[in-house]
Amino acid sequence: MALLAEKVALITGAGRGIGAAAARLFSQHGARVVLCDLDAAPVEQLAAELKAAGGQALAFTGDVTSAEFASQVIAATLEHFGGLDVLVNNAGYTWDGVLHTMDDAQWQAMLDVHLSAPFRLIRAAAPYLRDTAKAEIKAHGAAKARKIINVSSVSGVYGNAGQVNYSAAKSGVIGLTKTLAKEWGRFNVQTNAVCYGFIETRLTAAKEQGETIQRGDQAIKLGVPENLMAGITMFHPMGRAGTPEEAAGPMVFLASSLANYVNGEILEVTGGMGI
């Protein structure tokens, strides 16, 4: 059953991890997908993979924190596919540290990528999502359902030591989600957030062997210290981290017509962590 047949979905951070898994699953369910990432190679490779499997995909490279990104990617989406049905704000990374040693740049970086970037992207999509819905309501008495899915974290719900910047930004995503659900629900736009726990991505790999990303002149080491990761696994109700594919499943539900009356919800996808 193709739950997303003919829908156009824009996914940020689609080059790796949860974003890439979501793109594959969306495409398998019939969506036409716009794949956004800071790095060109992974999204171009994924777009080629999806096309080879019979899907439709557009790779778009850009930095979600740049002032021009939102308007450019929305314009590219509308030009290529002629519409937008699902917006997934997934892009992000972690830059951990305790509050008393954190400088302004480290604090601001997390707010920029996790909170300001989704805000700008939703705002750039507003003329299409909101105004098109108003025209549909005037012409037909109702607008078709459209979806916004914001990615948050259990760190934004419960806090997490060593992640004051990330936790604050992800908590802000929850406020953004609930407010937009109230503002745009009347236009049949359902806005929800998925809060992930311990999912296998490069952000949760062993830090000792983890990747480094470059932000300006700052090299940021990704991952979780190996001893901490072992402790999380030991006390996790399911005894393991979730896979990106398991993380992507709830997104498909929220993007589909099965969730047309689900609005303003914060769905924790944790395998029971935090209960």
Angle of helix 69-81 versus helix 117-140 axis, rounded to 10: 40
Q: How far apart are CA 179 and CA 266, in angstroms?
A: 12
Q: How far apart are CA 188 and CA 136, in angstroms?
A: 10
Residues 152, 194: contact at Cβ < 8 Å?
A: yes
Residues 70, 121: contact at Cβ < 8 Å?
A: yes
Q: What are the residues whose beta carbons fall under 8 Å from the beta carbon of 129, sequence distance 6 or more?
A: 84, 87, 146, 148, 184, 187, 189
Exposed / middle / buried, residue 225 (Cβ in 10 Å: 0-12, 13-18, 19+): middle
Residues known to be catalytic: 166
Exposed / middle / buried, residue 56 (Cβ in 10 Å: 0-12, 13-18, 19+): middle
Cα within 13 Å of Cα(156), Cβ side: 27
Vertex 86, ends 82 and 91: CA angle to 5°?
110
Residues 225, 207: contact at Cβ < 8 Å?
A: yes
Edge-first strand order for the sheet with 32-37 is 56-61, 32-37, 8-11, 86-89, 146-153, 189-196, 266-269
Are β-strands 218-221 and 32-37 bridged in parallel, bridged antiparallel, or unpaired? Answer: unpaired
Q: How many residues does the chain have?
A: 275
